Structure 1
């Protein structure tokens, strides 16, 4: 590597910021008549791409509480949120000042019990219920696609009465 290329690489590393943390809800429901699993997708306000409800940390709220709060504010969702994360994904966000940052999003499952008629961001987004397979086709982030597929598998195992295999600790 040339000295100039090495210096450029070092300068880039010096100015790289750690990912910003966000929390999200993977909202789901089981259709009563068919037993089908559906997940909620909505469009982002800025780019119109398909996303799940997510937001920044909030004072005096746990990560899963933030996820539930964002689900209500952005999509009018009420439900029961898991306290354990499903996993995380990353995406690139352009802030209001034009700065581009990487965000790491911890995702929590939220079983929907009801939907409000009025909520903070009503009319600002398109909201749709879709299958996990359809969600995988619509979202841009590869790690979020993987979370939808893993969630589909987890729910299939739960509904069939099988539990995931336990891996013994070493």
Structure 2
């Protein structure tokens, strides 16, 4: 395997694609020597999800996921460029249209949890063991990524 550094992406202008890409952060910490992952509530129905969002011009996928983690969950920390896996989901677009999305997940070791962040009034957040978090996630592929997550494999 050749180690390469992810370069920032340059977004193309225009054009709808049938499948869109998003980037998500699997935020984790150790608490009392036990691994925990952070889930946040979705804004719509309040189900448990991870922070995720659209690609950002001039940011790597991992950097974009870290920005989403700050905005949606109020976390700061070290994001890794290692993609843990992909999962598929449907996202609501303007006009109530559902579009298929593939989400690439990047691990983020949380170093700081803020009380004041952009979506603090719109979401709740909670730490769970990976096993418990996986049981709360609706997307089977994401649940498997969380269940099998081992931070030692990304160092």
- Higher relative contact order by CA 8 Å / sep ≥ 6: 1 or 2? 2
Task: State the distance in 1 between where 2:92 and 2:45 align.
Answer: 10
CA RMSD of aligned residues (A): 1.5
Give the number of the structure whose residues are more often strand, by fraction.
Answer: 2
Task: State the distance in 1 between where 2:69 and 2:35 align.
Answer: 18
Paired residue for 1:23?
A: 23
Number of paired residues? Answer: 138
Alpha-carbon distance, 1:123 to partner: 1.6
Unaligned runs of 5+ in 1: 1-16, 164-170
Unaligned runs of 5+ in 2: 1-16
Paired residue for 1:108?
A: 106
Paired residue for 1:7?
A: none
Task: State the distance in 2 between where 1:36 and 1:123 align.
Answer: 29
Q: TM-score with structure 2 length normalisation? A: 0.85
SS at match of 1:125: coil
- Greater Cα radius of gyration, structure 1 or 2: 1
Give the number of the structure whose residues are more often helix, by fraction.
Answer: 1
SS at match of 2:95: coil
